Chains A and B, each alone.
Chain A
Amino acid sequence: MGNRTVIPFGPQHPVLPEPIHLDLVLEDETVLEAVPRIGYIHRGLEKLVEKKDFQQYTYVAERICGICSFMHGMGYCMAIESIMDVKVPERAEFLRTIWAELSRMHSHLLWLGLLADAFGFESLFMHSWRLREQVLDIFEETTGGRIIFSVCEIGGVRKDVSPETLNKISGILLSMEKELKELAKVFLNDSSVKYRTRGIGVLSKQAAFDLGAVGPMAKASGINMDLRTQGYAAYSKLQFEPIVETDGDSYARTSVRLREIFQSIDLIKQAVSIIPEGEIRVKVTGNPNGEYFTRVEQPRGEVIYYVKANGSKFLDRFRVRTPTFANVPALLETLKGCALADIPILILTIDPCISCTER
C-alpha cells in the first residue's frame, strides 16, 4: 500500500498565467485525483450590468480577459445587435474577422511560448513571444491598443483601416509565416519536446464528449467542432476546414494550435483580398428588448453569451460561459494517473484563462 499525500498546486506557480488552485492526491508520485478550487480573480463583472448601461458595458465586456479581449467585445456586440435587429455593414464584418483572427494568432503564440517555458526550453519561449510582438505591433498601428483595443461597438467598428495598412499587414504576415515554419519544425520534431508531450494526458474521443471538452482539447481528440463554420461575422465568405487530430495527447493539442496559426494567416490573406468598401458603423438608437444566445469561437474554444434585455437602458442579465469553464472537468480526468512532473504541462494544455472563467 503506497503512501498517500495531498499536495497543493497553485495559486502561484511559474507556469500558470493566472491563479488556480488544485489539491492533488498523490500516491508515490502518481496522481490519483484532483480537486479544483477557483475564485481568486472573481470580480463580479456580471453584476455590473445593473450599474452601467448597455453602451458603456462594451468596455467592461472587453476587459473580462486580457488574452481573448477582442472576442469578448465582439460577442457582446453581436448579441445586442441580434436583439435589436441591427445589420452591421460588410466592411465592419470583415474588419472584425481580421482582428479576431489576429487575436487567435497572438493567443496561440502566447500559449506556445508558455508551453516551451513549462519544460524549460527558454529560447523557444523567447522566439515565440518575439513573433507575437509583431502581431501586437499590428494591433497598435490599426486600433491603438496592444491588448485591449476598444474598437468594437454596437453597430460596427470605430476605426477604419486604410488599404495601404492592409497591404502592409499582408506583407508582415508573409514574413512571419516563414519564421513560423521554422518554429513549427522545432515544436513538432525536436526530441525533447516529443519526450515531454507524446502520450501524456490522453483523452479519448468518448471521454472528451462525455466531459464536455471544447476547443482544441476536443479537436485533438477527434471531435470535429468549430463554430466558425456556422458563418457569423464574415466567416461565411471565407474558405477553411476545421483542424482535427486523433491522438488525444498533449502532442496532438500542440499540433492543433500550431496548425490553427497557419490557418489564421491564410484566413486573413483571404479576407484582405475580398474586403469591400463602405461604411464601418451604423447609428443605433433605442434600447434592446428580448434575449439571445450567441456563440463565438475563441482561441480556447466555444463561448456562449446570453443577453437578456427588458427595454430600459440597463440589461437584465449578461452571462458568459467561457471555454476554460467547460474544459476544467476534462483537465481533472487527464490528471488521473499521470506523474508529478507532468502536471504543469497538463494544466497548460487546456490553455487556462482563469480570469475568463471567473469573471
Chain B
Amino acid sequence: MSILSMSKILFKSILHGPYTVLYPIRKKENYEHTRGRVDITVSDCIFCGLCQRRCPTGAIRVDKAGSTWSIERLQCIQCNYCGEVCPKKCLKMGNQYTSPSFGNVRDDYTNARVSDNTENH
C-alpha cells in the first residue's frame, strides 16, 4: 500500500514544464497526410458528375450545362472518395482544415474558359 507512488511522475512533470502548445500564438503544423479541404483545378474538370454520384454525403453538385462545380463545405467529410474516382485527377485534398463559418458555405467554381462567364473564382 503506497500513498506516494505518483511522486516520481509529478516531479518529472514539474521539471519538464508544460506539454501543451500555446495556441493561437504558436500553431501546430499539420502533417502531410492530414485530411483538410478538397480543392479542384476547374480548368481540367470535364463535369462528368462521377464525384457527385460517389460522394457519401451528397455535398458535391455538378452542373454540366452551366459548367459549374460546387461543394458544400460543412457537409464534406473529407474522405477523398471523390479524389479517387475522378478520371481527370483534378480533385486534390490539401492539408489545411476548412475554416469555421456561421452558416452553410457553398463554394462554387466555374470554368473561366467558358465564354459567357464573367467571374473567375
Q: Do any CB atoms of chain A lie under 8 A from CB atoms of chain B in the complex?
A: yes
Give every chain B residue within 8 A of A194 (Cβ-Cβ): 1
**Is A328 engaged at the interface, CB distance under 8 Å to the other chain?**
no
What's the minimum C-beta distance from B61 to chain A, rounded to whole angstroms? 17
Contact (A186, B5) CB under 8 Å given A127-B13, A140-B34, A144-B33? yes
A150 and B3 within 8 A (CB)? no
Give every chain A residue within 8 A of B9 (Cβ-Cβ): 123, 127, 182-183, 186
**Is B54 engaged at the interface, CB distance under 8 Å to the other chain?**
yes
Which of B8, B31, B77 has a CB less than 8 Å from the CB of A182? B8
**Is B66 engaged at the interface, CB distance under 8 Å to the other chain?**
no
Query: How many residues belonging to B are interface residues under a CB distance threshold of 8 Å?
Result: 22
Residue of A nearest to B36 (CB): A144
A124 CA to B9 CA, complexed, in Å: 9
Contact (A150, B80) CB under 8 Å given A140-B31, A144-B34, A182-B9? yes
B6 and A124 within 8 A (CB)? yes
**Is A28 engaged at the interface, CB distance under 8 Å to the other chain?**
no
A59 and B79 within 8 A (CB)? yes
Q: Which of A177-224 contact B (CB under 8 A)?
A: 182-183, 185-186, 189-192, 194
Give every chain B residue within 8 A of A143 (Cβ-Cβ): 33
Residue of B nearest to A188 (CB): B5
Give every chain B residue within 8 A of A39 (Cβ-Cβ): none
Contact (A59, B81) CB under 8 Å given A140-B34, A142-B33, A144-B33? yes
A60 and B5 within 8 A (CB)? no
Q: Provide the B17-34 mask, 1 if CB < 8 A to any CB of A, else 0.
A: 001000000000001011
Q: Which of B21-78 contact A (CB under 8 A)?
A: 31, 33-35, 54, 56, 77-78
Which of A60, A141, A144 has a CB less than 8 Å from the CB of B56? A60
Give every chain A residue within 8 A of B35 (Cβ-Cβ): 144-145, 150
Contact (A123, B6) CB under 8 Å given A56-B56, A60-B56? yes
Contact (A150, B79) CB under 8 Å given A52-B56, A123-B10, A127-B13? yes
What's the minimum C-beta distance from A284 to chain B, rounded to whole angstroms? 13
Query: How many residues belonging to A are interface residues under a CB distance threshold of 8 Å?
Result: 28
Residue of A nearest to B12 (CB): A182
**Is B2 engaged at the interface, CB distance under 8 Å to the other chain?**
yes
**Is A317 engaged at the interface, CB distance under 8 Å to the other chain?**
no
A252 CA to B84 CA, complexed, in Å: 47
A241 CA to B79 CA, complexed, in Å: 36
Q: Which of A127-153 contact B (CB under 8 A)?
A: 127, 130, 140-145, 150
Q: Provide the A151-195 mask, 1 if CB < 8 A to any CB of B, else 0.
A: 000000011000000000000000000000011011001111010
A23 CA to B78 CA, complexed, in Å: 41
A190 and B34 within 8 A (CB)? no
A140 CA to B32 CA, complexed, in Å: 9
Which of A52, A59, A190 has a CB less than 8 Å from the CB of B5? A190
Give every chain B residue within 8 A of A150 (Cβ-Cβ): 35, 77-80
Contact (A186, B6) CB under 8 Å given A130-B19, A141-B31, A142-B33? yes
B81 and A56 within 8 A (CB)? yes
B5 and A185 within 8 A (CB)? yes
A186 CA to B13 CA, complexed, in Å: 15
The contact sample of 5 A-B pairs, CB cut-off 8 A, is A140-B31, A140-B33, A144-B33, A185-B5, A190-B3
Closest 3 CB pairs of A and B: A144-B35, A56-B56, A144-B33
New A-B pairs, 4, CB < 8 Å, besides A59-B81, A130-B19, A145-B35 = A59-B56, A140-B31, A140-B34, A141-B31
